[in-house]
Structure 1
Amino acid sequence: MDEMYLSHMGFKKQGRSLVNKTLIVGIYEKTTNKLIVKVLKNAKSKIFAVCRNHISSKCHVHTDFWKGYCDFKSVFTKHETVNHQDSYVSKTGVNTNQIESVWKHIRRTFKTHIKVAKHHVHLYAKEAAYKFNKIPSFEIVMLCLI
């Protein structure tokens, strides 16, 4: 799982400040290739609640090294982190590459629209998740073409 901050004043603004930005949280399940996205107003208190509603306490949870995920160890028995300042994959193989790839596609989707109203971001995020969940895997597409 990971979070993304979508800037409304331009897509090159960086950082976790929510000034003119919208927080989008994504949970990607590797076994079923399903994506859940939620738009939140504040990070720390809401992310924890979203995770408890959508992730079983027995699941492996991979996150980055952000301090907002520190409380996860008390709920999820198998919570592992990767420090992106060191590398994108930890020494034990933990990574958030798939959800980072999803963020790239969602940002690209938002750039195709002339204007994205802040109060409609949740609909655009749901649309992107729906498309991601409905796109067949590469293997299925290749089998259909053969």
Structure 2
Amino acid sequence: MNTSDLRRIRCLNCNQTFSILYGTIFYKSQTQMTSWFYLIFRWINTKHGIPATDVARELGVTYKTAWRMCHEIRTRIGNQDAGFIVDGTAQMDEMYLSHLGFKKKGRSLLNKTLIVGVYEKTSNKLIVKVLKNADEKNLLRFALKHIFTECCLFTDSWKGYVSFKNFYPKHEIVNHEVGYVSPTGVNTNQIESAWKHIRRTFRTHIRVSKHNIHLYAKESTYKFNNIPSFETVILCLI
């Protein structure tokens, strides 16, 4: 069934008619609803995302249509955990994602995008955001927005975390030049494992635009934090 063939509803106050899909990603879409539902089913059951080329081939649509459908889902899903605040033990770290298709070591932002994240050990939830650079001001602004100051916060020894002790009294550091676990047991192993999950998502796609990296990162984070079901995803999209 085409979305334009669905029944329209008349408002008793303004006497205007509107589609039952108004305000959803399906509104004014020329793609059949069966194709949308198939894509949502595939998206739910694909851990690291589904390339638009596969969607186009399976649905028999153009690549442009397939990419737009995936992008609509990605945009709606990406904001689901935006209001989550960490109030337990947290690990904070940064990841540098290369635009060249392979992993380049170092903190240089040449042909790379910086993604910073916070992992809460209690709920096993991850929050990520794309930042321009990993200086002290940007990292602290992100932390204060998503982490309560009473939390136990574990980070590495990057200079951007130097002043965190003034805001987070329970802030502890692990020096990775010495070892992955400090003598007091502090580590950032869980969030570094989460970075592997996000990297696999980006390797699934042939090419990701720099302007859309934040959406792909949040899509991957949503799947890391949740076990999606058809019902919960549909509720996010309408």
Secondary structure of the structure 2 residue equivalent to 1:13: coil
Alpha carbon RMSD of aligned pairs, Å?
1.1
The two structures have a TM-score, normalised by structure 1, of: 0.90
After superposition, residues 11-26 of structure 1 pair within 5 angstroms as 11-26=102-117
Q: Determine if the alignment matches structure 1 residue 37 to structure 2 residue 128.
A: yes
Q: Which structure has the highest strand share of the two?
A: 1
Structure 1 residue runs without a partner (length 5+) = 137-146
Q: Determine if the alignment matches structure 1 residue 3 to structure 2 residue 94.
A: yes
Structure 2 residue runs without a partner (length 5+) = 1-91, 229-238
Letter in 2 for 1:32: S
Q: Within 2, Cα distance between the matches of 1:5 and 1:30? A: 22
The two structures have a TM-score, normalised by structure 2, of: 0.56
- Partner residue, 1:46: 138
After superposition, residues 37-116 of structure 1 pair within 5 angstroms as 37-44=128-135, 45-116=137-208
Offset at residue 85 of structure 1 (A): 1.1
Offset at residue 135 of structure 1 (A): 3.3
Q: Within 2, Cα distance between the matches of 1:135 and 1:38? A: 21
Secondary structure of the structure 2 residue equivalent to 1:43: coil
How many residues are paired up? 136
Q: Within 2, Cα distance between the matches of 1:17 and 1:135? A: 35
Considering only CA atoms, is the larger Rg found in Structure 1 or Structure 2?
2
Offset at residue 64 of structure 1 (A): 0.5
- Partner residue, 1:117: 209
* Identity among equivalent pairs (%): 69
Secondary structure of the structure 2 residue equivalent to 1:10: coil
| Deviating 4+ runs (over 6 angstroms) | none
Q: Within 2, Cα distance between the matches of 1:26 and 1:8? A: 19
